[in-house]
């Protein structure tokens, strides 16, 4: 039997991934490459969600899809800091050359001897590299119907950790998008990735993760018992199976896969798992309506 991904034809994998230097500008190139491929591959999508291999969902897919269905399509979820830290300031002054932007082989990142001054044409914003972007903003980033995205990309090409500042700076300095930025990436970083005893993730300890206003948890190792807890209590996912949704019509038990029998993929059966996230989003949207700029950098 073919797997669900093959039958649904809704997974596209870039065979040869780009090489990156984590502290360089090549990670930004990787993300922009992914968005460009998505724009070319499909026309009917609304959101680009940037995740790491160590990220894991904290709400079922039906809940996430339902939430995104009522969220205004002009929003971008970009975590940013209004004022950059002294460390980030020093990094912004450096001029770097990331060799992996230009060659496919392993290469080092070079740091120039001279410093540069901070730009006066725009204000720098820094934050998390994990973002959820709407389609129009992605098109603006890639196609650049005005000069600013290209100008900004030239600057960040020689900036350390540019993937932690490009989208923040682009959105918060563009009038069309600056009034619709939610300062969150809907992600919780699991700072304790060393625990191996399943009891470490039982209530009330697990509440710090499960009751947060987020959709994903990050920094989770592949053998972490946290994944088993999430599968069992939140996603209701059996071992070796996909996370079930409203399109799964088969019997639900631990030994059979309910998604072996398909229904209408547009049917959603959301549950209570995303209640806190929904409250957070509704409050954020309400607060946004009374501000002239979400980034508030004037």
Return the number of other C-beta atoms located less than 10 Å from residue 221's C-beta: 13
- Answer positive or negative: Cα dihedral of 225, 226, 231, 234: positive
Buried b vs exposed e over 74-108: b needs ≥16 C-beta within 10 Å?
ebbbbbbbeebeeebeebbeeebbbbbbeeeeebe
Residue 118 vs residues 155, 156, 166, 198, 203: alpha-carbon distances, Å: 10, 12, 14, 48, 48
State residue 266's pLDDT score.
Answer: 83
ω into 140 cis (within 30 of 0):
no
> In whole angstroms, what is the distance from residue 278 CA to residue 135 CA?
21
Q: Model pTM greater than 0.85?
A: yes
State residue 265's pLDDT score.
Answer: 81
Residue 153 CB partners (closer than 8 Å, separation 6+): 166
Query: Which alpha helices (H) appear in the chain, and where do they start and end?
Result: 4-8, 26-41, 61-70, 86-93, 135-143, 148-157, 166-172, 175-178, 207-210, 225-230, 275-288
> In whole angstroms, what is the distance from residue 183 CA to residue 112 CA?
33
State residue 210's pLDDT score.
Answer: 61
Q: In the chain, what are the domain boundaries? A: 15-186
pLDDT tens series, the chain, 298 aa: 445 555 667 777 777 777 788 888 999 999 999 999 999 988 889 999 999 888 999 888 899 998 898 899 999 999 999 888 888 888 889 999 888 887 655 678 888 888 999 888 899 999 999 999 999 999 999 988 889 999 999 999 999 999 999 999 999 999 999 989 999 999 888 765 544 444 444 544 455 566 667 899 888 888 888 888 888 888 888 887 888 888 888 876 667 788 888 888 888 888 877 888 888 888 888 877 656 566 865 4
State residue 167's pLDDT score.
Answer: 97
The DSSP letter of residue 106 is -
108 near 99, Cβ under 8 Å?
A: yes
State residue 73's pLDDT score.
Answer: 93
> In whole angstroms, what is the distance from residue 83 CA to residue 136 CA?
27
> In whole angstroms, what is the distance from residue 255 CA to residue 236 CA?
12
> In whole angstroms, what is the distance from residue 232 CA to residue 209 CA?
15
State residue 196's pLDDT score.
Answer: 47
- Answer positive or negative: Cα dihedral of 180, 91, 119, 86: positive
How many CA atoms are closer than 13 Å to the CA of 64, on its beta-carbon side?
Answer: 19
The C-alpha angle with vertex 141 and arms to 110 and 62, in degrees rounded to 5, equals: 110
- Quick one: tokens of 151? 């100008």
Q: What share of the chain is helix, strand, coil (3-state, %, to 5)?
A: 35, 15, 50
């Amino acid at each position: 039997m073919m797997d669900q991904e093959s039958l649904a034809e809704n997974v596209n994998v870039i065979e040869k991934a780009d090489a990156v230097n984590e502290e360089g500008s090549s990670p930004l190139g990787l993300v922009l490459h992914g968005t460009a491929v998505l724009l070319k591959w499909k026309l009917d999508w609304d959101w680009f969600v940037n995740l790491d291999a160590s990220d894991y969902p904290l709400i079922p897919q039906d809940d996430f899809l339902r939430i995104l269905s009522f969220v205004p399509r002009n929003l971008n979820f970009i975590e940013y800091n209004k004022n950059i830290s002294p460390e980030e300031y020093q990094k912004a002054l450096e001029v770097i050359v990331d060799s992996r932007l230009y060659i496919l082989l392993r290469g080092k990142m070079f740091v120039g001897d001279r410093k540069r001054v901070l730009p006066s044409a725009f204000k720098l914003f820094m934050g998390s590299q994990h973002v959820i972007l709407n389609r129009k903003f992605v098109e603006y980033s890639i196609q650049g119907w005005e000069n600013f995205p290209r100008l900004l990309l030239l600057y960040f090409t020689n900036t350390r950790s540019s993937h932690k500042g490009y989208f923040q700076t682009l959105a918060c300095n563009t009038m069309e998008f600056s009034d619709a930025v939610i300062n969150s990436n809907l992600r919780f970083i699991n700072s304790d990735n060393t625990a191996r005893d399943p009891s470490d993730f039982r209530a009330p300890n697990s509440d710090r993760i499960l009751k947060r206003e987020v959709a994903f948890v990050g920094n989770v190792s592949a053998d972490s018992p946290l994944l088993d807890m999430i599968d069992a209590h939140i996603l209701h996912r059996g071992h070796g199976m996909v996370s079930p949704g409203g399109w799964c019509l088969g019997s639900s038990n631990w030994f059979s896969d309910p998604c072996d029998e398909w229904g209408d993929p547009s049917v959603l059966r959301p549950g209570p798992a995303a209640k806190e996230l929904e409250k957070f989003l509704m409050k954020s949207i309400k607060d946004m309506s009374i501000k002239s700029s979400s980034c508030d950098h004037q």
